[in-house]
Structure 1
Amino acid sequence: MDWLIFGLPGNENLATQLSEQLQIPCGAATIRHFPDGESYVRILSDVQNKNVLLVMTLDHPDDKLLPLYFFTLAAREQGVRKIGLVAPYLAYMRQDKLFHQGEAVTSGFFAHLLSQLADWIVTIDPHLHRRASMSEIYTVPVTVLHAAHLISKWIKDNVKNALIVGPDSESEQWVKEVAREADVPYIVLEKVRKGDRQVEIKVPDVSRWKDHRPVLVDDIISTARTMAITIQHLIQAGFHKPICVGVHPIFAGNAFEELKAAGAEKIISCDTIPHASNGISVSTLLLPELLSMTRDKK
């Protein structure tokens, strides 16, 4: 069965990489906005009786969801067989509990909507906190890949005498895996969140690690407040300027500049979201899974 791959706006580079690696041609489409802000979607390639891979990372999801919705419905109308969504970053995973009466628990709502658009989804390190698995909220198959190995390799290749620093207890299992594969020690901080941009950090006794280069590792870098405060604590404790590594570089507002100003020596991210900090490609992580899917799914 023929396949086409479409990189929706902002995702063209990753789609091109995957197209070359999978030997699947890129489809052509026009997606833009009218002057009044409404979306215009036109699929130029013939998708009838074909399977389609859509590459769209879902940062800023409110801006991206309608074009994705319109594209998938247009493709269905034109006779597409199956649609696979490659979303390296998957949004609306953190709002997974009712804290106040009347709140929308949007992780479930968003999952319900995406499950109607795609036949299957591939993503990288979604923020599973109170959920044990994606199947709790998604009704289509969701393949979850993990970037720990890529980050470990980057640290091993680029940082001498590293000490991995995790932001909080939730990250310990993930950070421990990165440290194990990189064959370096790690520590985990205590974090108390007091608001969207207010956190309190408690750093354990780190005197025994003074000769190490701290590498702060997190899955999502959003406001970067935790990393910025941690950098200041570590520098005050006599460490070298830390290196910051993240899977998903959201960098809300001026977070990237604030992280540099806090004293980060280097900021590196996976290219799950296009950003100037991208230094770790996820295409090699996606490739084996997509090869299997495009060969097996008819």
Structure 2
Amino acid sequence: MNYLLFALPGNEALATSLAGLLQADMGEVIVRQFPDSETYVRLKTDVKDRNLLLVCSLHQPDCKLLPLYFLAKTAKELGAATICLIAPYLAYMRQDIRFQPGEGITNRYFASLLSSFADSMITIDPHLHRVHSMSELYAIPVYVLHAAPALASWISKHVKKPLLIGPDEESSQWVSVVAALAEAPYVVLSKTRLGDKQVQVKVPDLAAYQEHTPVLLDDIISTARTMIETIGHLKGKLTQPAVCVGVHGIFAGDAYEALERAGAARIVTCNTIPHPSNHINLEVLIAEAVAGNLPLNNNH
């Protein structure tokens, strides 16, 4: 199938790579703000009867959502046959229940909005808690890809005698998959979250791993407080400094600099969110899904 790709602002590098891998056309779009901050969208490529791939990673989603919505609606009005949203990072997965009286369950609302203008979506390792399948939220097919093989490959190639350390008991199943692929041992922390930027972690006995390099592994690095706290606990317990690896590097505020100051030997993320720490590229994974697996079965 001959796809037509459009890159939302900030996603140009990934979209260009995907277009090359898929031998697909790149569409031209103008997205800008009027002086009053309202969004202007103009499609300069004919989309009639075309199958569109809109590339837009949804970190800092509030400022991205309206341009994405306007682009998709414009494309449909101009005759686009289908729209698949490629959102390597998918936001609004945290608030999946009403924790306090009066709270909005925003993951449902966000899913409803995306489902209203896209025909399908591809994402990578969404952060599921009490929701077990994307089909519980989304009215469109959501194809979930997994970064574990790419993480394991990078760790195997770049870290000597790695010991994988997961952030909490909830991560055990995911971390164990990466560890098995990397043929490395793993442990998980006991974590208590005390607030948005404060966590308390307990590190298991590491006496058997003195010659190993600790690899702190997480799906999302946001405030980096868990990794920073863990690095502090590892000092004096393991001789090698920690390598920090994440799928999605949000790095809210000064999180990246704080993690460096804490003593991380290296900080590495996948290119789901553009950042200087991107050293694990997933465009081949996405392109293979598009080229060989659409339509797919909805993954959990």
TM-score range, shorter chain: over 0.9
The TM-score normalised by the length of structure 1 is: 0.97
Partner of 2:112: 112
Partner of 1:28: 28
Distance 1:170 1:206 in 2: 20
Q: Partner amino acid for 2:181? A: E
Aligned length: 296
Distance 1:20 1:246 in 2: 26
Partner of 2:145: 145
How far is 1:235 from its partner? 1.6
Partner of 1:65: 65
How far is 1:35 from its partner? 1.7
- Check 1:208–1:4 CA distance in 2 against 1; reply closer, same or farther (3 A cut): same
Q: Partner amino acid for 2:186? A: Y
Partner of 1:122: 122
Partner of 2:239: 239
Between the aligned residues of both structures, percent identity stands at: 53
Verify the 8 A CA contact 2:209 2:238 in the aligned structure 1. no
Verify the 8 A CA contact 2:167 2:217 in the aligned structure 1. yes
Distance 2:155 2:293 in 1: 30
Verify the 8 A CA contact 1:92 1:110 in the aligned structure 2. yes
Matches within 5 A, 1:38-57: 38-57=38-57
Verify the 8 A CA contact 2:83 2:120 in the aligned structure 1. yes
Q: Partner amino acid for 1:198? A: Q
The C-alpha deviation readout for 1:92-117, integer Å capped at 9, x for no partner, is: 00110111111001001100000011
Verify the 8 A CA contact 1:214 1:239 in the aligned structure 2. no
Partner of 1:225: 225
Verify the 8 A CA contact 1:3 1:294 in the aligned structure 2. no
- 2:36 is equivalent to residue 18 of structure 1: no
Distance 1:238 1:128 in 2: 32
Q: What SS is found at the alignment partner of 2:26?
A: coil
- Gaps of at least 5 residues in structure 2 are none
Q: What SS is found at the alignment partner of 1:129?
A: coil
Verify the 8 A CA contact 2:125 2:146 in the aligned structure 1. yes
The TM-score normalised by the length of structure 2 is: 0.97
Q: Partner amino acid for 2:116? A: Q
Partner of 1:281: 281
Structure 1 outlier segments of 4+, above 2 Å: 292-296
RMSD: 1.2
- Gaps of at least 5 residues in structure 1 are none
- Check 1:185–1:295 CA distance in 2 against 1; reply closer, same or farther (3 A cut): closer
